Structure 1
Amino acid sequence: MAIHLYKTSTPSTRNGTVDSQVKSNPRNNLIYGQHHCGKGRNARGIITAGHRGGGHKRLYRKIDFRRNEKDIYGRIVTIEYDPNRNAYICLIHYRDGEKRYILHPRGAIIGDTIVSGTEVPIKMGNALAKLIAKEGKSATLKLPSGEVRLISKNCSATVGQVGNVGVNQKSLGRAGSKRWLGKRPVVRGVVMNPVDHPHGGGEGRAPIGRKKPTTPWGYPALGKRSRKRNKYSDNLILRRRSK
């Protein structure tokens, strides 16, 4: 993902960036429409997730996460933009005539070949099984975050990295670009009324009036662990990730 800067002419272009992409139309049999429900409201119309609403219409691309075309070589035909995620997607043409989308691996270019299976070469974009430590029906893996966990030996892994490593360097440059993505302005709780937020109220610029910041519903914020207790996957995590 190459990040390019605009030539300075207006405040929005002065602070904005754009990433280079291959423009192509998606295949009709690999897209479908979805009911837009990203307004942050529940069935009663109450806001349950703030700062959401609006945004441009989008079509969902069917992404092949299973990679069940075993031992059949495919060729990368296009690298396309996907409005539903911050990574590009690749259109793969398999030798048996199947056409599917996958996430764009870092370093993959148009014309490269990929294949999924148990006896495939270790190459960028290929999916294969690699056993590090065996314990019964599970394998012990260490993730890049430092977390050590158990995964079924029947799982496969895709070699490489998703090609969106520069996404944290992008700058939209203006508020309108953020609204196209369905994101609304973020308002601080300290400038609200007491009925709207626990931080609200007071005369002039008043502090929050609490020892620690809270969410609009009164729960601890900024640093409080939000993972559910007794989650089903707790037994699979041997060591938590490092901060």
Structure 2
Amino acid sequence: MLLYNPITNSQRHCCLINKKYINKFYHFKSFFSRKKSSFGRSKGRISSFHRFSGHKNCYRQLDFDFFFQSEVPFVVRTIEYDPNRSSFISLIYYINGLFSYIVATDSHYLDKRYICSDRTFYMNLYGNRTSLLNLPIGSVLSLLSTESRRYAQYIRSAGTYGILLRKNSKHARILLPSKKILQTPVSGMCFVGKVSNSDFLNQNLGKAGRSFWRGKKPIVRGVAMNPVDHPHGGGEGKKSKPSSPVNPWGTVIKYSRKFKRRKY
């Protein structure tokens, strides 16, 4: 993490991720594609408040299934920043001559060899991809797929990991980062170790401009709007919100029911 001296107001309490060892120059441009974004809009009208597309960026095509390159060792060439996700990504080179982008884990190091295999003698090596059947109880895992020929669906955010709680010959139970327990077939594949960039939640952007680059707009109070925009708006001079505040559509939000009466 990078801590800044408060020379300016935007540097006070600012704490950012250190990208000193992240590759900034070499990119495999064939995996980059144009990303057309219109977030928060529907036919030009606002459909989601306080959001927009943010700064322009390209989409990186990642490999989440590893099905066609099973049992083929690969070497990590670069670790790069991806604006479309919270974790870092790795450019890997298979020994058969193919390149690919994957989500990086904390156990991926440059110029080190890994493999995606079902064999048991690879199970204790962090950074490899194997099936749940080969892992011992209590293993830390990430990028989990529920089937052997399915792409990774769970545990993909920065710094997250799951724990293998129990397994038998058919099923395994995994503790997800949300504290839910997932039951999945033991044929599912996963990486050993947790996802990279574990300091993502510890960063403090320091100024509203960095949030604006990421597509987050300021949240305007209802009392600061006009009466045509919000029930709290309008009036002469400053005023406070009523004792029973409502949303822009007039529904009471302070004392209303937050769940369905007969949901369970």
Q: TM-score range by the shorter chain?
A: 0.7 to 0.9
Displacement of 1:108 in angstroms is 2.6
Contact kept in structure 2, 1:24 and 1:80, CA below 8 Å: no
Match of 1:65 in 2: 64
| 1:170 and 2:187 correspond | no
Counterpart Cα distance in 2 of 1:223 and 1:169: 34
**Residue 161 of structure 1: how far off its partner (Å):** 1.0
Give the Å deviation of 1:123.
Answer: 2.3
Deviation larger for 113-122 or 185-194: 185-194
- Alignment match, 1:94: 94
> In 2, distance between residues paired with 1:223 and 1:103?
40
Superposition pairs for residues 130-149 of structure 1, below 5 Å? 130-131=132-133, 132-134=166-168, 138-149=171-182
Measure the CA separation in 1 of the matches of 2:191 and 2:242: 47
* Higher RCO (C-alpha 8 Å, min separation 6): 1
SS in 1 for 2:210: helix
Partner AA of 2:130 in structure 1: L
Counterpart in 1 of 2:221?
188
Tell me, in whole angstroms, the C-alpha distance in 2 between the residues paired with 1:14 and 1:24. Answer: 30
- C-alpha RMSD of matched pairs (Å): 3.0
| Aligned residue in 1 for 2:194 | 161
**Worse-superposed segment, 127-136 or 63-72:** 127-136
1:22-42 per-residue CA deviation (whole Å, 9 max, x = no partner) reads 22332111111121222x012
Q: Cα 1:139–1:12, aligned 2, differ >3 Å: closer, same or farther?
A: same
Distance 1:104 1:219, change over 3 A: farther
- Work out the percentage of aligned pairs sharing the same amino acid: 33
Is the contact made by 1:199 and 1:209 (CA closer than 8 Å) also made in structure 2?
Answer: no
Which residue is equivalent to 2:29?
A: 28
Match of 2:7 among 1, 9, 33: 9
Normalization by structure 1: what TM-score?
Answer: 0.77
* 2: CA distance, partners of 1:197 / 1:176: 26
Output the CA distance in 1 between the equivalents of 2:257 and 2:114: 42
2:128 to 119, 126, 129: 126
Shift of 1:59: 0.6
Find the residue that maps to 1:149 and give its secondary structure. Answer: strand
Cα contact 2:128–2:191 (8 A) shared by 1: yes
Q: Secondary structure at the match of 1:168?
A: helix
Asked if structure 1 preserves the Cα contact closer than 8 Å seen for 2:106 and 2:194, the reply is yes
Give me the TM-score of the superposition, normalised by structure 2: 0.71
Matched letter for residue 196 of structure 2:
G
Q: Supply the distance in 2 between the matched residues of 1:182 and 1:29 (Cα, whole angstroms).
A: 26
Shift of 1:198: 5.2
Residue 54 of structure 1 and its aligned partner are, at CA, apart by: 5.2
Cα separation, 1, equivalents of 2:191 and 2:252:
39
1:63 CA displacement: 1.1
Specify every segment of 5 or more residues in structure 1 that has no aligned partner in the other structure, as ranges.
231-243
Q: Which residue does 1:111 correspond to in 2?
A: 111
Is this contact kept in 2: 1:34–1:59, CA < 8 A? Answer: yes
**Structure 1 residues 208, 77: closer, same or farther in 2, change over 3 A?**
farther
Distance verdict in 2 for CA 1:70–1:8, change over 3 Å:
same
For structure 2, the 5+ residue unaligned runs are 134-165
Separation in structure 1 between the aligned mates of residue 248 and residue 132 of structure 2, nearest angstrom:
45
Show the counterpart of 1:207: 241
Q: Tell me, yes or no, if the aligned pair for 1:24 and 1:78 is still in contact at 8 Å.
A: no
Preserved contact between residue 132 and residue 188 of structure 2 (Cα < 8 Å): no
Secondary structure in 1 matching 2:33: strand
Query: Is 1:49 matched up with 2:48?
Result: yes
Matched residue SS, 1:15: coil
Deviations 1:72-91 (A, max 9, x none): 11111111111111211111
Any conservation in 1 of the 2:37–2:53 contact (CA below 8 Å)? no
Pair 1:84 & 2:84 matched = yes
Q: Against the structure 1 CA distance between its residues 151 and 121, is the aligned structure 2 distance closer, same or farther, given a 3 Å change threshold?
A: closer
Q: Distance in 2 between matches of 1:118 and 1:214?
A: 56
